[in-house]
Structure 1
Amino acid sequence: MTDSKPAVQRLMAFDFGLKRIGVAVGQPITGTTQMLAPIAARDGQPDWAVVEKLLKEWQPNLLLIGIPLAIDGSELSVTANARKFMNRLHGRFGLPVQPVDERVTSKEARQQLFDYGGYKTLKNQSVDSLAAELMLQQWLHEQSSPS
């Protein structure tokens, strides 16, 4: 019996936010990831033309969507918005989507940027896209770890 699901060739991760949505891409074969410019959003709604352009350019065959949760795993007020964004992505573009627990990625991204260059770097850099990249790296690591 063969598995009919195609292998994941390229991933795109989204770190959902109401004002900005961080974006990163990666490849499971090489394990490489890359941050992209964040997408501006209004109340969690991105410019869908920008999303479509990114999807056409990078041609991912799996989308990872960060689902914000509290440290204890409970849902936050923004969690429902992230799930709506995930459902809309799937509905509009027909690509498979997978939710990813992103409890600590934004905090870790802020800390990395601050460690790199202090408050000025933190203020000028995209925490959102770094958080998407960290989430993607975590997902790739989990997929490559033996079960």
Structure 2
Amino acid sequence: MHSSAQRVLAFDYGTRQIGVAVGNSGLGTTQPLTILKARDGQPNWAEVTALCKEWEPDLLLIGDPLNMDGTVSEFAQRARKFARRLEGRLGITIEMVDERLSSFEVKQQQKDAGHSGDYHESPVDDLAAELILKDWLRKQ
């Protein structure tokens, strides 16, 4: 638990795109921020650095896509590698957050709200990042 963290950026890691949300743990607020393009899981690091310079987060949350039984999937290993790279490049504290079913939950919410279901045309990765952040805030 990082009770001193105020501004938090959350990342929903993906191989083609990475959703980002911002929140304030003191106020309990969250909002989707952006979706970064990625090539085989690698974002444009200059964009990531610029985001962190703009928002000056105290903590970075990375969704940890564990298997349903809690074991570490190959994809979770990639997300953890991304987290280590973030921490190494930016020097900001990282915390992994269990994100099982977050993308599914966001897609269900969007479908209920009338989303077409074409997530290539209208992605929801930033909303998944916001859900990761909301779950983390609830547990604080």
TM-score, scaled to structure 2 = 0.93
Q: Give the deviation of 1:120 after TM superposition.
A: 4.9
Q: Which amino acid is 1:70 matched to?
A: N
Equivalent of 2:60 in 51, 58, 63: 63
Match of 1:50 in 2: 47
Is 1:75 aligned to 2:72, yes or no? yes
Task: Judge conservation of contact 1:113–1:122 (CA < 8 Å) in 2.
Answer: no
1:80-95 alignment runs, 5 A limit = 80-95=77-92
Q: Percent of aligned positions with the same letter in both sequences?
A: 50
Matched position secondary structure for 1:37: strand
RMSD: 1.6
Which structure 2 residue ranges, 5 or more long, are not aligned?
none
Matched position secondary structure for 2:37: strand
What CA deviation, in whole Å up to 9, does each residue of 1:64-117 have, x standing for no partner?
001111111122221111011000000000000000100011110111111111
Is 1:114 aligned to 2:111, yes or no? yes
Match of 2:25 in 1: 28
Which structure 1 residue ranges, 5 or more long, are not aligned?
none
How many residues of Structure 1 are paired with residues of Structure 2 in the alignment? Answer: 139
Cα 1:121–1:44 shift into 2, 3 Å: closer
What CA deviation, in whole Å up to 9, does each residue of 1:7-47 have, x standing for no partner?
11100000000110110000011111010111100111000
Higher helix share: 1
Is 1:135 aligned to 2:122, yes or no? no
Cα 1:101–1:120 shift into 2, 3 Å: closer
- Identify the range of structure 1 (71-80 vs 93-102) with the bigger mean alpha-carbon deviation: 71-80
- Aligned equivalents of 1:119 and 1:105: distance in 2? 19
